Amino acid sequence: MASSSGMSRWANRVALVTGASVGIGAGICASLVEHGMTVVGCARNKDAIQKISDDLRDKGLTGKLIPYKCDVSDETEVNNLFAYIEANHGGVDVCVNNAGFSTHQTLLEINATEMRAMLDVNVVGLVLCAQKSVNSMLARGVHDGHIININSMAGHRISGFLNFYTATKFAVTALNEGLRKEVVAKSRIRVTAISPGAVDTHFAHRIVGEEMAKQMYKTIDTLSVQDIVDALIFALSAPENSQVHDIQIRPTGQKE
Ligand SMILES: NC(=O)c1ccc[n+]([C@@H]2O[C@H](COP(=O)([O-])OP(=O)(O)OC[C@H]3O[C@@H](n4cnc5c(N)ncnc54)[C@H](OP(=O)(O)O)[C@@H]3O)[C@@H](O)[C@H]2O)c1
């Protein structure tokens, strides 16, 4: 892995992290703040981000986490988020598209409302944030910006579980490469996906409930949030000539 010293160029720059209230997003926010970045963390649960921000502030770091309430499936809220960042912090230099979720329904059960809700967060929200970040970077002459899409191993193979979610993550695989092709024609902004296997977060809690998720996590190998943070820091700290395209990480022992 690249040394984290490659992160020094990001000190005092601005990152947006979606889905910042718990799990992978919360861990990414903390790490970027520790590397001196000004991080705008958004999610629906702003209070949870405020708590993380307060804990980080107590450590006396130069970076800071700014909580922002935003549902990324709502275009108006996303527009307001970017207007806020432009007005108060100049603009996004690093965009981490992390917000995402699944429901438990099979393809034989899921209804159109549930499908659209998942598409709106996992796909539409991701594209809106990437698009607005890249356009802001180009308008400000920021050619070293970075878009990082938190994909999943579900975006690369069909396990037979969470099949609609899998389809949204296959879309992320396509969008990651499509965005790279569009962006490389205009600038040296980098586009990276990180594709984890099972990570012990609230992700499964939201699908099967807390108790069942805790039981499940005891019986399978999992990655930690720190494993995903390490991958993101590797991509962000890569030298200027190196674009990390997609980091696929399974827990050792995960068969699918
Ligand atoms: N955990 C895994 O096993 C795993 C594996 C591969 C990929 N991933 C991917 O990793 C990413 C993060 O998941 P996680 O494991 O950290 O899950 P998590 O603990 O459930 O966290 C999900 C985050 O997304 C946010 N979010 C959900 N809907 C949102 C919306 N409409 N607008 C804004 N934020 C929203 C949640 O915040 P609020 O509820 O406060 O809005 C929360 O902060 C997701 O894209 C997921 O698909 C997870």
| Full pLDDT tens readout for the chain, 256 residues | 444 459 999 999 999 999 999 999 999 999 999 999 999 999 999 999 999 999 999 999 999 999 999 999 999 999 999 999 999 999 999 999 999 999 999 999 999 999 999 999 999 999 999 999 999 999 999 999 999 999 999 999 999 999 999 999 999 999 999 999 999 999 999 999 999 999 999 999 999 999 999 999 999 999 999 999 999 999 999 999 999 999 999 999 998 8
Residue 255 lies in a domain: no
Burial 200-233 (b: 16+ CB within 10 A, else e): bbebbbbbeeeeebeebbeeeebbebebbbbbbb
> What is the C-alpha to C-alpha distance for residues 179 and 238, in angstroms, rounded to an integer?
19
> How far apart are the CA of 37 and the centre of ligand 1, in A?
22
Q: How high is the pLDDT of residue 5?
A: 54
* Assigned domain for 131 exists: yes
**Structural domains in the chain (count):** 1
Output the CA 141–ligand 1 centroid distance in Å: 31
28 within some domain: yes
Give the position, in ligand 1's atom list, of the atom nearest the Cα of 21.
43
Helix axes 23-34, 225-236, angle to 10 degrees: 50
3-class DSSP assignment, residue 156: coil
Assess if residue 98 is contained within a domain.
Answer: yes
Which atom number of ligand 1 is nearest to the Cα of residue 102?
47
Judge whether 102 and 165 are in contact, CB under 8 Å: yes
In a domain, 254, yes or no: no
Phi-psi region of 90 (alpha: psi -120 to 50; beta: other; left: phi over 0): left
Atom number of ligand 1 nearest to Cα 27: 16
Atom of ligand 1 nearest to the CA of 20: 43
**Residue 139 CA, distance from chain mean position:** 23
Residue having the nearest C-alpha atom to atom 15 of ligand 1:
203
* In a domain? residue 112: yes
Structural domain containing residue 155: 4-249
pLDDT digits (tens, 9 = 90+) for 50-97: 999 999 999 999 999 999 999 999 999 999 999 999 999 999 999 999
Which candidate, 153, 123, 150, 147, places its Cα nearest to that of 133?
Answer: 147
Question: Does the C-beta of 121 come closer than 6 Å to ligand 1?
Answer: yes
Please check whether residue 123 lies inside any domain of the structure: yes
Q: Is 21 in the pocket of ligand 1 (CB under 6 A)?
A: yes
Of 17, 18, 24, the residue with max ligand 1 atoms within 8 A of its CB, to mutate for a pocket test, comes to: 24
For ligand 1, is residue 27 a contact (CB within 6 Å)? Answer: no
Distance 121 CA to ligand 1 centre (A): 9
19 lines ligand 1 (CB under 6 A): yes
CA of 62 to the centre of ligand 1 (A): 27
The residues annotated with a catalytic role in the active site are 165
Going from the Cα of 186 to the center of ligand 1, the distance in angstroms, rounded, reads: 31
CA distances (Å), origin 60, targets 55, 56, 226: 10, 7, 21
What CATH number does residue 39 fall under? 3.40.50.720
Asked whether residue 113 is domain-assigned, the answer is: yes
Instruction: Give the per-residue pLDDT at 108.
Output: 98
User: Most distant CA pair in the chain: distance in Å?
Assistant: 52
Contact 193, 232 (CB under 8 A): no
Give 46's Cβ-side CA count (13 Å radius). Answer: 8
